[in-house]
């Protein structure tokens, strides 16, 4: 019997303002992931469109029912025989009145198995002087999402969600053994916190963490940190893309996922049964 770990592919991108270019890049990356033996590919936040110019991007951002993007991902999943985590894409909410930052999980048969709208908005003023107000363009989601995949039970989150550990505890309470954290971290916050936060989330949940990231300088002028990272349940990095794409629009890293490591980590440090704070009125 084959007991080798299952492979996940992290796809690091430098997404731009043209969705067709981004989709073509994703298609090429999926072919490479499939050739490398991956069963599921993970893309970064805003993989299909990274553009902070609200006027320029408006024509592309429609309700999911009217968007061609999910169907394109479904076709790619079927053609490559891979599960896909989309990273995320900007869409109009079903009420048409607000934008959401939405992830999709697509099975290898092309069916959409899960959706998740980013909950926590990146509203910050950084020491570098950078000012970000994600809530000016997007509304936060209001529901958690977990889904069974060939890798294990996957809990969904996006970028700034990473800084809120209670979200990941709730995903574990719903059975998550892996955590998807697609991101577009700034260079300054990435250098300071990215590895620290991802490893902390893995250790405190006993989960694999799969974090595909945007990297490099983008067409809309922003710069992102990259360093796509996979972490095992003991907090050890198992795959990383340390350089930005430079001479290509993407990079891939293959991460071995042995789901038995989740049980081993949780048995060694039984946080679920030791968690006494739940019995204290705060």
Q: For the chain, what is the radius of gyration of the CA atoms?
A: 18
Contact 37, 69 (CB under 8 A): no
- Strand ranges of the sheet holding 237-240, from the earlier edge strand across to the other edge: 146-149, 152-156, 178-180, 208-211, 229-231, 237-240
Q: Is 136 helix (H, G, I), strand (E, B) or coil?
A: helix
Neighbours of 213 (CB within 10 A): 30
206 CB-contact burial (10 Å; exposed 0-12 / middle 13-18 / buried 19+): buried
Structure tokens at 265: 């980590």
If 0-12 CB within 10 Å is exposed, 13-18 middle and 19+ buried, where does residue 16 land? Answer: middle
Phi and psi at residue 182, to the nearest 5°: -65, 145
Query: Tokens 């169907």 — which residue?
Result: 71
**Closest-CA residue to 177 (of 274, 252, 265, 277):** 265
Contact 252, 29 (CB under 8 A): yes
Longest dimension (CA), the chain: 56
Known catalytic residues are 45, 118, 159
Give, for 121, the enclosing helix (H) or strand (E). Answer: none
Pairing mode of beta strands 146-149, 152-156: antiparallel
């Amino acid at each position: 019997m084959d007991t080798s770990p299952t492979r996940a592919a992290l796809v690091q991108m430098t997404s731009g303002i043209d969705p067709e270019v981004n989709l073509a890049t994703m298609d090429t990356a999926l072919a490479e992931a499939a050739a490398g033996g991956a069963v599921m590919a993970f893309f970064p936040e805003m993989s299909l469109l990274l553009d902070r110019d609200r006027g320029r991007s408006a024509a592309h951002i429609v309700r999911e029912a009217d968007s061609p993007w999910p169907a394109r991902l479904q076709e790619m999943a079927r053609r490559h025989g891979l599960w896909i985590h989309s990273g995320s894409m900007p869409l109009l909410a079903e009420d048409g009145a607000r934008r959401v930052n939405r992830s999709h999980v697509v099975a290898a048969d092309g069916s959409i198995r899960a959706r998740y709208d980013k909950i926590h908005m990146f509203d910050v003023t950084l020491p570098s002087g950078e000012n970000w107000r994600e809530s000016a363009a997007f509304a936060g989601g209001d529901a958690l999402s977990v889904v069974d995949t060939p890798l294990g039970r996957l809990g969904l989150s996006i970028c700034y969600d990473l800084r809120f550990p209670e979200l990941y505890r709730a995903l574990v309470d719903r059975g998550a053994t892996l955590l998807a954290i697609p991101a577009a971290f700034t260079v300054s916050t990435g250098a300071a916190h990215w590895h620290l936060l991802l490893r902390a989330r893995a250790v405190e949940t006993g989960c694999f963490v799969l974090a595909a990231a945007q990297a490099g300088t983008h067409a809309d002028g922003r710069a992102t940190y990259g360093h796509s990272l996979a972490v095992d349940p003991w907090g050890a990095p198992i795959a990383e893309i340390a350089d930005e794409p430079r001479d290509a629009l993407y990079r891939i890293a293959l991460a071995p996922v042995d789901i038995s490591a989740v049980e081993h980590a949780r048995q060694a440090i039984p946080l679920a049964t030791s968690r006494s704070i739940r019995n204290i009125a705060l």
